[in-house]
Structure 1
Amino acid sequence: MTDSCCGSGAEGRGAGPVVTGARRAVLHRRVRWLVAATITYNVVEAVVAVSAGTIASSTALVAFGLDSVAEVLSAVAVAWQFSGADPEHRERAALRAIAVSFFLLAAYVTGDALWSLFGGGEAEHSTAGIVLAAVSLAVMPVLSGAQRRAGRELGSASAVADSKQTLLCTYLSGVLLVGLLVNTLFGWYWADPAAALVIAAVAVKEGREAWRGEHCC
C-alpha cells in the first residue's frame, strides 16, 4: 500500500474512515467482480473493433481494439493483486503494470494518429464501429465509477488507477464515435486522429500518476 492512498493505510492519520474487516472482504469481492466484468467486456470489444477496423480499413477502430487489450492488461494486474491473501503487499507491482499499459496505449495511439494524419489512407464507413463506440460510451462510465468508488473506500490506489484506465476507454469511445460519424457525414478524416492525440497525452499523464502511486482516494 502506497502512503499516498487513503483507507486502512491511513488509519491513525485522519486521512479516511476505518474500513472494518467484514466491509473490506465485501469490497475485495466487489473489485474482483468488477475486474472480471471489465476483462470480459474488453475482450469482446477488442475482437469486434479489430475485426470491423480491418474490414473498413479504419486505423481508429483497430487502435480502439488495441486500447481494449491495454485495458484487459490493466484489469488483469488488479485481478492478480486481489487474488492474494494480502492485496496491499502486491499493490506497487500492480500499479507499475497499469502504468506500463497506459504508456503502451499512448505510444500506439500517437503513432497510429500520426500515420492517419499524414498519408495513412481514408477509412470506410463502419456501422459496426459506430454501434460499438456508442455501446462502450454507455457501459464504460458505469464500470469505471463503480470500481473507483470501491477502490477509494478500500484505499486501493491500483483499483482507482484501473478505474481511470476504464474511464480513458470512455474518452476513446467518444473520440471514436465522433470520428466515425464525422468521417461518414462530412469526410473529415483528420478529426479522429487529431482528437486521439489529446487522448494519448491524457494516457501519459495517467501512466505517470500510476507509476508514482498518485491515484489517491
Structure 2
Amino acid sequence: MTALAPLTPSRRERLNRRSLRLAYATVGYNVAEGVVAIIAGAVASSTALIGFGIDSGIEVSSATVVIWQFRSTLPEARERLALKLIAVSFFALAAWVGFDSVRSLLVGEAAQPSGVGIGLAAVSVVVMPLLVWAKRRTGRELGSASVEADSTQTLLCTYLSAVLLIGLTLNAVLGWSWADPAAALVIAAVAVREGVQAWRGEACDDCAAPGAEQACQDGCC
C-alpha cells in the first residue's frame, strides 16, 4: 500500500465533516432497523431477529462515539479514547451474539417464519456495504483508526445481516431453526478479534516515527 499524501487543513476539515455525516446516517438507519427487528422478532418469537435489533443498538453506540470524537475542534485528541470505546462496543456485540446463539441452540426454540425479518435483512445486506465503503475510504484518507474501526463494526453488522437472511430463509423454507445461531457464533468470534485490535489501536501513535507509515497502514490504521 502506498503512503497517503499529507492532508491540507481544508481537506481534513471536509473529511471530518464527512465522518460526522456518515456517523449520523448510521445512527438514523440503525435506530429504524433496530425498532423494526425487535418488533418483528417479538411477533415471530425469533431470538435471532431480536438479537439483530439489539446489535443495531450496539452499532448506534459505535457511531455515536465517532460523532462525539468529530464534534470536537481537535478530533485527533480523542482518537485513543474513541478506539477504546469502540472496542467495548465490539466486546458487547460478541457477548450478546454469543450468549443469544448458545441459548437458542440449547433451548432449541423454533421461531415462526418472518417475511418482515427477511425483507429487513435483505435491505441491510445492500445498505450496510455502502456505509462500510464510505467509512473505510474516509478513515484511511483521514488517517483515523477510530473511523476505520467503526467501519469494521458496520461490516460485522453486514455479516450479521447476511447470517440473519440465510437463517430466516432456511427456517422459513426448510425449518432449520438452528442455522442462524450456529453461524452467528462465528460472527461473535470475529467481533472479539476486532475488539482486541481496536483496543490495541493506540499503537498507531507510533506512526509518526520515521519509516513507520507503511507498518501502520498495514496494521491497525
Q: Could you tell me how far apart the structure 2 residues matched to 1:120 and 1:97 are? A: 34
- For residue 33 of structure 2, the aligned residue among 45, 62, 67 is 45
Q: Could you tell me how far apart the structure 1 residues matched to 2:199 and 2:167 are? A: 31
Q: 2:157 aligned with 1:169, yes or no?
A: yes
Aligned length: 205
RMSD of aligned residue pairs (Cα, Å) = 1.4
- CA drift of 1:119 comes to 1.2
> What is the identity, as a one-letter code, of the residue corresponding to 1:160?
E
State the secondary structure of the residue aligned to 2:111.
Answer: coil
Q: Could you tell me how far apart the structure 2 residues matched to 1:169 and 1:119 are? A: 25
Q: 2:23 aligned with 1:28, yes or no?
A: no
Structure 1's consecutive aligned runs of 4 or more residues displaced over 6 angstroms after TM superposition are none
State the secondary structure of the residue aligned to 1:170.
Answer: helix
- CA drift of 1:216 comes to 3.3
Q: Could you tell me how far apart the structure 2 residues matched to 1:216 and 1:87 are? A: 18
Residues 70-121 of structure 1, C-alpha deviations (whole Å, 9 max, x = no match):
0000000010000001100001111111110110110111110011111141
Q: 2:110 aligned with 1:106, yes or no?
A: no
Gapped runs of 5+ residues in structure 2?
204-218
1:6 alignment partner in structure 2: none
Q: What's the TM-score, normalizing by structure 2?
A: 0.90
Q: What's the TM-score, normalizing by structure 1?
A: 0.92
Q: Could you tell me how far apart the structure 2 residues matched to 1:93 and 1:200 are? A: 23
Query: Percent identity at matched positions?
Result: 61
1:118 alignment partner in structure 2: 106
Q: 2:181 aligned with 1:209, yes or no?
A: no
Q: 2:53 aligned with 1:69, yes or no?
A: no
Question: Which fold has the larger relative contact order, with Cα–Cα distance below 8 Å and residues 6 or more apart in sequence?
Answer: 1
Does the CA-based 8 Å contact 1:152-1:216 persist in structure 2? no
State the secondary structure of the residue aligned to 1:118.
Answer: helix
Does the CA-based 8 Å contact 2:198-2:220 persist in structure 1? no
Q: Could you tell me how far apart the structure 2 residues matched to 1:127 and 1:193 are? A: 18
Q: Could you tell me how far apart the structure 1 residues matched to 2:101 and 2:135 are? A: 30
